[in-house]
Amino acid sequence: MCLHLTEHHGDACPGPTVFVWMTGIDEFHRELTAKSYKFLRPGLKTTFYDAKCVEVIDPFGNRTWFNEDLKHDRAS
């Protein structure tokens, strides 16, 4: 996936949220935390809608929620 973010005034309100469904969230979370970013230490949580979620917040307050559906795992 290629996600293009804009910094142009008026494109969106400050602090919008993008919601992304994905697979392999445990590996993705390990990859992010292994980088040891000073200001980004996202957690991995289980949501009320039966998904695992990693929330990434950029320096401008924009949020991206990466989600993996847990119900999909039960079906296999």
Which pTM value belongs to this model? 0.79
Within 10 Å of residue 75's Cβ, how many Cβ atoms? 6
In the predicted model, is pLDDT for residue 75 greater than 70? no
Confirm whether 12 is domain-assigned.
no
CATH number at residue 65: 3.30.720.110
pLDDT in tens, 35-74: 988 888 899 999 999 999 999 988 878 899 999 999 875 5
Task: Provide mean pLDDT across the span 5-18.
Answer: 76
Confirm whether 46 is domain-assigned.
yes
pLDDT of res. 46: 96
What SS3 class is residue 54?
strand
Confirm whether 5 is domain-assigned.
no
Confirm whether 9 is domain-assigned.
no
Q: How many domains does the chain have?
A: 1
* Of 14 and 32, more confident: 32
Confirm whether 2 is domain-assigned.
no
What is the domain range of residue 22? 17-75
Confirm whether 4 is domain-assigned.
no
